[in-house]
Amino acid sequence: MKKLKWGMIGGGEGSQIGPAHRLGAQADGLFALTAAALDVNPEKGREYAQRLGCAADRAYGDWTEMLAGERGRDDRVDLVTVATPNSTHFEITKAFLEAGFNVLCEKPMTMTVEEGEEIVRVARASGRICAVNYCYSAYPMVREMRHMVASGQIGKVRLVITNFSHGHHGNAADADNPRVRWRYDPAMAGISGQFADCGIHALHMASFITGDEVRSLSADFASTIDSRTLEDDAMVNFRMEGGTVGRLWTSSVAIGRQHGFDIQVFGETGGMRWASEQPNQVYYTPVGGRTQIMEKGESGLSDEATRLSRVAIAHPEGFPLAVANIYVDLAAAIAGENRAALPSAADGLRSMAAVHAAVDSAGRGGVWVDARPTMFR
Amino acid sequence: MKKLKWGMIGGGEGSQIGPAHRLGAQADGLFALTAAALDVNPEKGREYAQRLGCAADRAYGDWTEMLAGERGRDDRVDLVTVATPNSTHFEITKAFLEAGFNVLCEKPMTMTVEEGEEIVRVARASGRICAVNYCYSAYPMVREMRHMVASGQIGKVRLVITNFSHGHHGNAADADNPRVRWRYDPAMAGISGQFADCGIHALHMASFITGDEVRSLSADFASTIDSRTLEDDAMVNFRMEGGTVGRLWTSSVAIGRQHGFDIQVFGETGGMRWASEQPNQVYYTPVGGRTQIMEKGESGLSDEATRLSRVAIAHPEGFPLAVANIYVDLAAAIAGENRAALPSAADGLRSMAAVHAAVDSAGRGGVWVDARPTMFR
Amino acid sequence: MKKLKWGMIGGGEGSQIGPAHRLGAQADGLFALTAAALDVNPEKGREYAQRLGCAADRAYGDWTEMLAGERGRDDRVDLVTVATPNSTHFEITKAFLEAGFNVLCEKPMTMTVEEGEEIVRVARASGRICAVNYCYSAYPMVREMRHMVASGQIGKVRLVITNFSHGHHGNAADADNPRVRWRYDPAMAGISGQFADCGIHALHMASFITGDEVRSLSADFASTIDSRTLEDDAMVNFRMEGGTVGRLWTSSVAIGRQHGFDIQVFGETGGMRWASEQPNQVYYTPVGGRTQIMEKGESGLSDEATRLSRVAIAHPEGFPLAVANIYVDLAAAIAGENRAALPSAADGLRSMAAVHAAVDSAGRGGVWVDARPTMFR
Amino acid sequence: MKKLKWGMIGGGEGSQIGPAHRLGAQADGLFALTAAALDVNPEKGREYAQRLGCAADRAYGDWTEMLAGERGRDDRVDLVTVATPNSTHFEITKAFLEAGFNVLCEKPMTMTVEEGEEIVRVARASGRICAVNYCYSAYPMVREMRHMVASGQIGKVRLVITNFSHGHHGNAADADNPRVRWRYDPAMAGISGQFADCGIHALHMASFITGDEVRSLSADFASTIDSRTLEDDAMVNFRMEGGTVGRLWTSSVAIGRQHGFDIQVFGETGGMRWASEQPNQVYYTPVGGRTQIMEKGESGLSDEATRLSRVAIAHPEGFPLAVANIYVDLAAAIAGENRAALPSAADGLRSMAAVHAAVDSAGRGGVWVDARPTMFR
Per-residue pLDDT tens digits for D120-174: 999 999 999 999 999 999 999 999 999 999 999 999 999 999 999 999 999 999 8
Is residue D141 one of the residues assigned to a domain? no
Q: Which residues of C34-72 are buried (b: 16+ CB within 10 A; e: fewer)?
A: bbbbbbeeeeebbebbeebbbeeebbbbbbeebbebbee
Q: With CB atoms and an 8 Å threshold, state whether A293 touches C291.
A: yes
Position C202 pLDDT exceeds 70? yes
Please name which of A123, A127, A121 lies closest in space to residue A105, comparing C-alpha atoms.
Answer: A123
Q: What is the mean pLDDT of residues B208-236?
A: 97
Q: What is the mean pLDDT of residues B93-101?
A: 98
Of D132, D167, D195, which residue constitutes the final position of a domain?
A: D132
Q: With CB atoms and an 8 Å threshold, state whether A19 touches D310.
A: yes
Instruction: Give the ipTM.
Output: 0.96
Alpha carbons D158 and D143: distance in angstroms, whole number = 19
Q: Which residue of D has its CA nearest to A257?
A: D314
Is residue D202 one of the residues assigned to a domain? yes
pLDDT tens digit string along A61-111?
A: 999 999 999 999 999 999 999 999 999 999 999 999 999 999 999 999 999
Within this chain, do residues D199 and D254 fall inside the same structural domain, yes or no?
yes
Interface with chain D: mutation pick from C249, C255, C285, C293, highest number of D CBs within 10 Å: C255
Is residue D330 one of the residues assigned to a domain? no
Q: Vertex B311, ends B307 and B317: CA angle to 5°? A: 90
Of C103, C132, C161, which residue constitutes the final position of a domain?
A: C132
Q: Which residues of chain A have pLDDT under 50?
A: none
A310 at D interface, C-beta within 8 A: yes
Q: With CB atoms and an 8 Å threshold, state whether D310 touches A23.
A: yes
Within this chain, do residues C120 and C144 fall inside the same structural domain, yes or no?
no
Confidence band of B1 (pLDDT split at 50, 70, 90):
low
Alpha carbons C77 and D183: distance in angstroms, whole number = 62
Is residue B328 one of the residues assigned to a domain? no
Is residue B244 one of the residues assigned to a domain? yes
Confidence band of B310 (pLDDT split at 50, 70, 90):
very high
pLDDT at residue number A30: 93
Chain B nearest-CA distance from C83, in A, is: 15
Q: Vertex B42, ends B41 and B48: CA angle to 5°? A: 90
pLDDT tens digit string along A9-52?
A: 999 998 989 999 999 999 998 999 999 999 999 999 999 999 99
Interface with chain D: mutation pick from B141, B153, B283, B293, highest number of D CBs within 10 Å: B293
Q: Which residues of B53-68 are buried (b: 16+ CB within 10 A; e: fewer)?
A: bbeeebbbbbbeebbe
What does the DSSP 8-state code read for residue D129? -
pLDDT tens digit string along B366-377?
A: 999 999 999 999
CATH of the domain at B35: 3.40.50.720
Residue A89's domain comprises 4-132
Within this chain, do residues B280 and B253 fall inside the same structural domain, yes or no?
yes
Strands (E), chain C: 4-10, 31-37, 79-83, 103-105, 130-132, 157-165, 214-222, 233-240, 245-251, 260-267, 270-275, 278-286, 291-295, 369-370
Chain C nearest-CA distance from D275, in A, is: 15
Q: Which residues of D97-126 are buried (b: 16+ CB within 10 A; e: fewer)?
A: bebebbbbbbbbbbbbbebbbbbbebbeeb
B168 at A interface, C-beta within 8 A: no
Other CB atoms closer than 10 Å to residue A338's CB: what's the count? Answer: 8
Q: With CB atoms and an 8 Å threshold, state whether C292 touches A294.
A: no
Q: What is the mean pLDDT of residues D325-349?
A: 97
pLDDT at residue number B88: 96
Strands (E), D90-232: 103-105, 130-132, 157-165, 214-222
| pTM of the complete model | 0.97
Within this chain, do residues B254 and B358 fall inside the same structural domain, yes or no?
yes
Position C262 pLDDT exceeds 70? yes
Alpha carbons A332 and A310: distance in angstroms, whole number = 17
Within this chain, do residues B12 and B48 fall inside the same structural domain, yes or no?
yes
Q: Is A79 left (phi over 0), alpha (psi -120 to 50) or beta?
A: beta
- Tell me the count of A-B CB pairs closer than 8 A: 133
**Residue pair B304/D305 in contact by the 8 Å Cβ criterion:** no
**Residue pair D285/D271 in contact by the 8 Å Cβ criterion:** yes
Kind of pairing between the strands at A245-251 and A278-286: unpaired
pLDDT at residue number B259: 83
Q: With CB atoms and an 8 Å threshold, state whether B298 touches D290.
A: yes
Q: With CB atoms and an 8 Å threshold, state whether A224 touches B158.
A: yes
Cα Rg, chain D, nearest whole Å: 20
pLDDT tens digit string along C132-144?
A: 999 999 999 999 9
Q: With CB atoms and an 8 Å threshold, state whether C290 touches A293.
A: yes
Position B164 pLDDT exceeds 80? yes
pLDDT at residue number D365: 96
D27 at C interface, C-beta within 8 A: no
Interface with chain B: mutation pick from A224, A248, A255, A291, highest number of B CBs within 10 Å: A255
B55 at C interface, C-beta within 8 A: no
Within this chain, do residues C119 and C144 fall inside the same structural domain, yes or no?
no
Within this chain, do residues A55 and A198 fall inside the same structural domain, yes or no?
no
Within this chain, do residues D354 and D207 fall inside the same structural domain, yes or no?
yes
Strands (E), chain B: 4-10, 31-37, 79-83, 103-105, 130-132, 157-165, 214-222, 233-240, 245-251, 260-267, 270-275, 278-286, 291-295, 369-370
What does the DSSP 8-state code read for residue A3? P
Within this chain, do residues B147 and B127 fall inside the same structural domain, yes or no?
no
Position C16 pLDDT exceeds 90? no
Within this chain, do residues B128 and B151 fall inside the same structural domain, yes or no?
no
**Residue pair C214/C198 in contact by the 8 Å Cβ criterion:** no
Q: Which residues contact D158 (CB under 8 A, 6 or more apart)?
A: C224, C233, C253, D244, D245, D266, D267, D268
Number of C-alpha atoms within 13 angstroms, CB side, residue C49? 31
Within this chain, do residues C187 and C115 fall inside the same structural domain, yes or no?
no
CATH of the domain at C305: 3.30.360.10
Q: Which residue of B has its CA nearest to D301?
A: B290
D290 at B interface, C-beta within 8 A: yes
Task: Specify the number of domains making up chain A.
Answer: 2
pLDDT at residue number D139: 98
Of B132, B157, B191, which residue constitutes the final position of a domain?
A: B132
Alpha carbons B57 and B63: distance in angstroms, whole number = 14
Chain A nearest-CA distance from C160, in A, is: 22
Residues of D in contact with B291 (CB under 8 A): 292-293
Interface with chain A: mutation pick from D315, D317, D323, highest number of A CBs within 10 Å: D315
Q: What percent of chain B has pLDDT over 90?
A: 96
pLDDT at residue number A16: 86
Residues of C in contact with B318 (CB under 8 A): 280, 311, 315-318, 321
pLDDT tens digit string along B350-365?
A: 999 999 999 999 999 9
Q: What is the mean pLDDT of residues B314-332?
A: 96
A307 at D interface, C-beta within 8 A: no
**Residue pair A375/A117 in contact by the 8 Å Cβ criterion:** yes
Q: Which of A249, A288, A365 sits opposite B247 (nearest CB)?
A: A249
pLDDT tens digit string along D1-59?
A: 579 999 999 999 989 899 999 999 999 989 999 999 999 999 999 999 999 999 999 99
Q: Which of D170, D291, D368 sits opposite C266 (nearest CB)?
A: D170
pLDDT at residue number D335: 96
Confidence band of C2 (pLDDT split at 50, 70, 90):
confident
Is residue A286 one of the residues assigned to a domain? no
pLDDT at residue number B16: 86
Is residue B165 one of the residues assigned to a domain? yes
Q: How far, in Å, are B130, C263, C312 from residue C147 at the CA level?
A: 45, 15, 21
pLDDT tens digit string along D225-274?
A: 999 999 999 999 999 999 999 999 999 999 999 988 999 999 999 999 99
Please name which of A205, A209, A230 lies closest in space to residue A219, comparing C-alpha atoms.
Answer: A230
Within this chain, do residues D94 and D191 fall inside the same structural domain, yes or no?
no
pLDDT at residue number C260: 82
Is residue B376 one of the residues assigned to a domain? no
pLDDT at residue number D233: 98
